[in-house]
């Protein structure tokens, strides 16, 4: 199954992706993780992207599209993939549709995890991320449960940056809900509940 994950930063898309990967073996393709890896590796792309990410702004389309195209060409996506963080706007969605067609692939759906703005701000400001493997956990967790790495607060999870991220999402990314609804591919789930409850609803929505 090939899916696009939709929802504001902090809605819980990554958590649901982890559960889908663990149970069904899908490949999780997170553009945020790809970009952060590029920044850590001090690649040319990473240097260009870093200033945008620190300011809570979206990285320009041309920088992201190249990464996604290359990733979708790998053999492991044949088992199914979850695109997280791409497309970010309707123009990218059209590019994705065209690129998938050239690869002989199609999207089976767009999973929209819907959460209120107040809850998102609370979640993100208390989130910590592993420097080594990007695992996320609540504040107070100093050692990564997954790999033992150091947990820290990312710049884009600080309160002053969260508001900018949400404003950017509302203007550029939220219209994707209507885009996929028009294609009869939208699957919406309330992400405010316990992650396990959300996952049960997700599986029912996707007939898994």
Q: Which residues are annotated as a binding site for Zn(2+)?
A: 130, 133, 144, 147
177 CB contacts (<8 Å, ≥6 apart)?
6, 112, 186, 188
Return the CA Rg of the chain: 16
Q: Which of 71, 123, 128, 165 is catalytic?
A: 165
Q: Which of 71, 127, 128, 187 is catalytic?
A: 127
Annotated binding site: 10-15, 31, 36, 57-59, 85-88, 92, 127, 130, 133, 144, 147, 154, 165, 193
Q: Is 105 a catalytic residue?
A: no
Q: Is 19 a catalytic residue?
A: no
User: In this structure, what token pair is assigned to residue 203?
Assistant: 């599986």
Q: Which of 71, 123, 128, 154 is catalytic?
A: 154
Annotated binding site for ATP: 10-15, 127, 193
Q: Is 154 a catalytic residue?
A: yes
Annotated binding site for AMP: 31, 36, 57-59, 85-88, 92, 154, 165
Count of CB atoms within 10 A of residue 87's CB?
25
Q: Which of 88, 123, 128, 187 is catalytic?
A: 88
Q: Is 165 a catalytic residue?
A: yes
Which one, of 111, 156, 107, 105, lies nearest residue 129 by Cα?
Answer: 156
Residue 38 near residue 49, CB atoms below 8 Å: yes
Q: Which of 13, 71, 128, 187 is catalytic?
A: 13
Q: Is 201 a catalytic residue?
A: no
Q: Just list the catalytic residues.
A: 13, 88, 127, 154, 165
């Amino acid at each position: 199954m090939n899916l696009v994950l939709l929802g504001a930063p902090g809605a819980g898309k990554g958590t649901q992706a982890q559960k889908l990967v663990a149970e069904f073996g899908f490949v999780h393709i997170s553009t945020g993780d790809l970009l952060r890896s590029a920044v850590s590796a001090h690649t040319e792309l990473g240097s260009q992207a870093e200033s945008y990410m620190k300011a809570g702004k979206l990285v320009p389309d041309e920088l992201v599209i190249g990464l996604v195209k290359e990733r979708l060409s790998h053999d492991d996506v044949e088992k199914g993939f979850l695109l997280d963080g791409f497309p970010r706007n309707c123009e990218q969605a059209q590019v994705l549709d065209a690129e998938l067609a050239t690869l002989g692939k199609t999207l089976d759906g767009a999973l929209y995890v819907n959460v209120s703005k107040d809850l998102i701000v609370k979640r993100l400001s208390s989130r910590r991320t592993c420097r080594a493997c990007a695992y996320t956990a609540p504040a107070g967790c100093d050692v990564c449960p997954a790999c033992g790495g150091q947990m820290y607060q990312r710049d884009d999870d600080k309160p002053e940056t969260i508001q900018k991220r949400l404003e950017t999402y509302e203007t550029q990314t939220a219209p994707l809900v209507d885009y996929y609804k028009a294609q009869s591919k939208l699957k919406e789930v309330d992400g405010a509940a316990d992650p396990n409850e959300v996952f049960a609803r997700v599986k029912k929505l996707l007939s898994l």
